[in-house]
Chain A
Amino acid sequence: MAQPPATQDRVNDFVIKLANVNGTGSASANTMLMKSIFRMGVPVMGKNYFPSNIQGLPTWYEIRVTKDAYVARSGRVDLMVAMNAETYQKDVREVSPGGFLIYDSTWPRAAVLARDDITILGAPLAKICNENFVGVRNRILMKNVVYLGLLAALLEIDVEVIRQLLTESYSKKPALVEANMKAVQLGYDYAKQHLPCPLPLRVQRMDKTRGSVMIDGNTAAGLGAVYAGATVGPWYPITPSTSLMDAFKSFCSKLRVDPETGASRYAVIQAEDELAAIGMVLGANWNGARAFTATSGPGISLMSEFIGLAYYAEVPAVIVDVQRVGPSTGMPTRTQQCDILMCAYASHGDTKHVLLFPSNPEECFYMMVQAFDLAERLQTPVFVMSDLDIGMNDWMCPELKWDDAYRPDRGKVLTKEEIEALPKFHRYLDKDDDGIPARTLPGVSPKGAYFTRGSGHNQYGGYTEDSAEYQVVMERLLRKFKRARTLVPAPVIEATGTSDIGLVAIGSSRGAVTEARDILAKRGIPIDYMRIKAFPFTKEVEAFMASHTKIFVVEQNRDAQLKSLLTLETDVPKSKLYSILHYGGLPMTSKEIVEAVAAELGDERRAQVAAAT
């Protein structure tokens, strides 16, 4: 084995990538690896790159150990755990110079796959499993746990932390804890005897994860729906949103059971398709329950007709779009921010919708609650624009908090007494001049009855084909949308106070942008950052655009959809905006933002960056 170039110590600052075959149980071992580092107080980022397949195709898991708590990919791979013979060639190539690769040396490795600028470490994992475990399936599963032990020794991960995690995972099956610990120990002992432990890449206890949780966005959003008081969840299964309704149902099955009767205080209904799912959401919201659905781009396409009805008939609805790669079926297990324009203007005719952009699981939780309040206050559909990266990966984020003083904002829903005190109820009459009429619920009073319809209607709720009457309602809907600008969350602006260069981003790009700004600042290029949290754009968005001369718009789609929306819906001149686009389907890296900014800023600045690199 060629000796590797001298590698610097990389304590708590390196990237592990694990190449596996899907369906072999690697995901749980990899999650445990990440969680054990987190439990040692060291910030981590984990990304799962999995195929749209049940078993047998390549899958990768990337773990970034990051003492500075950067939550994005760095673009490096310092340690590759190459467990998939099929992708071995690609995996070897991907290791950053000076890095390490671990492979299963049970079988010989072709010499052509060697690289002399990295250290290749072999361990006979399959052989160890065959000698120590019985049964084909068990041997396959345990191989993952053996490399977990191996890594514990190489990276100095506390085996007791792993034991604790196993105990928590298998609290009801203690025998599994022992079997798994045996595998961990086998790997650990092998590494101690045969491999150069520890590697320069090491984990050292810190105290930087206290008060944080590792949670995925779909789980957090499902929990948010529980706290928002949602009771009806119609949905149709679609990757990557499925785990959201699963989480909601699972939380409800524990938290929403009548203690006396055992009956459920929620209804999760698996619909026959997305058209029915959104129809049920509208029916339930119309009838006064908080109802929502979770879907992805293809589902939004199917729901569009009903979304237009909800806009025009003014029925509240919350729709979570966990975006995946389009167009069409696209790449269902890869991430993008590609539904921005579709959701902003979903359905035929003149429609505009409220969008919220969570940037991590923490915001998924809070924005679910906000979405319901906005939907009911504004009597309109509200989209929570999550994505696969946020929804399905575990993110380190601050522990979620709840204010017990919170009460849902049900908007202008008239009580029986209020209805009966009126001379006459008119559904679409804007009495308080805020663009929002009052509504009534079925079953309350015959005096509150009205006809909900997607056909032309006047402000009294009656059918119309009269131009003037139709326009009165359409103009008022526009006023309502303007009113939404004052109710949606304002952007988060991080200004340097000195820069005339701005950078705008939404959602899961946040991690990469934050790190890129730090890198650029160190290289003498300070940039102001605006993270937009909602559409319609608030006045702060407009002000930021006006006060910067050059603005980078970072987003994860091919067609610069956010940039388009900004040019359509604000006064910013197009010439000020520079797109940084990333749409290959993997989460963004800070590196590509740094490079794109440097390139755009021209020779002088580029030299500055190069000199500092």
Chain B
Amino acid sequence: MSFINKPKVRHPDLPQNQLGLTRRDYEGAMSTLCAGCGHDSVTSSITQAIWELNLRPEQLAKLSGIGCSSKTTAYFASGAHGFNSVHGRMPSIAAGANAANKDLHYIGVSGDGDSLSIGFGQFAHAIRRNVNMLYICENNGVYGLTKGQFSASADIGTRSKKGEENRQAPVDPCLAALSLGGSFIARSFSGDREQLVPLIKAGLMHKGFAMIDVISPCVTFNDHVGSTKSYEFTREHYHEAVHTDYIPARTEITASYGAGEVLPVQMHDGSQLRLRKLDKDYDPNHRGKAFEYLRTRLRQGEHVTGLIFLSPGHDPDMHEMLHTTDVPLNQVPYEQLHPGAAGLASILKRYA
């Protein structure tokens, strides 16, 4: 993907996180996406979230497929290794990388074409496998790099820039993830940083596959009247069901909430999520109800956002299912991997 290096200019008074790093230390190369692209707002939210989480850049690995969205990984955390793989196959790279080293934080950034068309199979199976990663789908309903074809998330009745109407049913990544057993499923909007930043932090700290579908309008090919993924349409049909606050471990909780409105969720690292239910009838811990709620609202043309579902139980991640050691597999000493010449002689007795 194309990028331009950003000049390093530092303001002496920039705020620092606990590691003494400023937000600039978590930035990447200069974006070459179109001016006003929703994806750049997502990049900004990711940068903010990882800075606030006090993660060292090298503790992250950034993974993507192909497409406009997949360029995002170049635009934040230049101190982290990145892997821009092939179209629709980022989940398998992530699963393999995670298998080798369970101790890093994995952020995958994909798009609606990359995740829901060419990569739908890998997307589905990464959810089933519960790979411990944050998976962001920057969803704009079109193919940008090939100039505006509908993607699989295009809504019925939405019109392309050239006026063509989409008649095929869309794939909703949240509904798909709900039915595939996803343990952390959220939807947000690139323009709502207040909602997105805590979701990214929560998703990164969630142990298992955390999927955030981010409606991220394409200013060039899908921001016109008649599109259901334009800035204007999204703002008008935006329904936040649950707001998430992320509270790091060992933080004194000062905010006050009305009784019955807040659902505290303890994370495995000691941090806490506080889910503020903006819709009183909504239960983000109930997979079936979440599914029904989303479908009902979708039929009404509304994008439900927020932390849509968080599994109430403990869903084992890929490593727990494989029962691997605490030592990352790429760090197990070679001596512990084979029984040597003597061991070989004993193995071979069966074959003599």
Contacts and interface: CB of A to CB of B under 8 A. Distances in A.
Contacts of B59: 443
A289 interface: yes
Contacts, number: 233
Interface stretch (A19-27, A116-124, A224-232): A224-232
Sort chain B's interface into a size bin: 35 or more
A12 to B, nearest CB: 19
B84 A454 contact: yes
B266 interface: no
Nearest to A234: B96
A166 to B, nearest CB: 14
B314 interface: no
Interface string A274-287: 01111111111111
Interface residues of A, number: 75
Contacts of B300: none
A234 to B, nearest CB: 6
A442 B104 contact: yes
Contacts of B332: 231, 265
A213 B89 contact: no
Interface string B120-158: 011011000100000000000000000000000000000
A529 interface: no
A265 B104 CA distance: 18
A454 B101 contact: no
B341 A403 contact: yes
Contact of B84 (A251, A285, A403, A452): A452
A446 B326 CA distance: 24
B344 A442 contact: no
A588 interface: no
B47 to A, nearest CB: 15
Contact of B78 (A212, A219, A449): A449
A400 interface: yes
B325 A287 contact: no
Interface string A226-252: 110101101000000000000000010
B92 A283 contact: yes
A263 B340 contact: no
Given A267-B329, A287-B61, A287-B330, A452 B95 contact: no
Interface string B14-49: 000000000000000000000000000000000000
A206 interface: no
Interface in B261-291: none
Interface in B80-101: 80-86, 89, 91-101
A342 interface: no
Contacts of A262: 323
Interface string B302-319: 000000000000000011
B89 A284 contact: no
A291 B61 contact: no
Give the one of A213, A215, A279 with max B CB within 10 A.
A279
A454 B85 contact: yes
A102 interface: no
Given A283-B83, A289-B100, A450-B81, 4 more contacts: A214-B351, A279-B91, A305-B86, A463-B74
22 contacts: A215-B348, A227-B344, A231-B332, A256-B336, A263-B324, A264-B322, A265-B332, A267-B99, A283-B83, A283-B94, A287-B96, A291-B96, A305-B89, A408-B334, A443-B103, A444-B58, A445-B58, A448-B81, A451-B83, A452-B83, A453-B83, A462-B3
Interface of B: 1-3, 56-59, 61, 63, 73-74, 78-86, 89, 91-101, 103-104, 121-122, 124-125, 129, 318-319, 322-327, 329-330, 332, 334, 336-341, 343-345, 347-348, 350-352
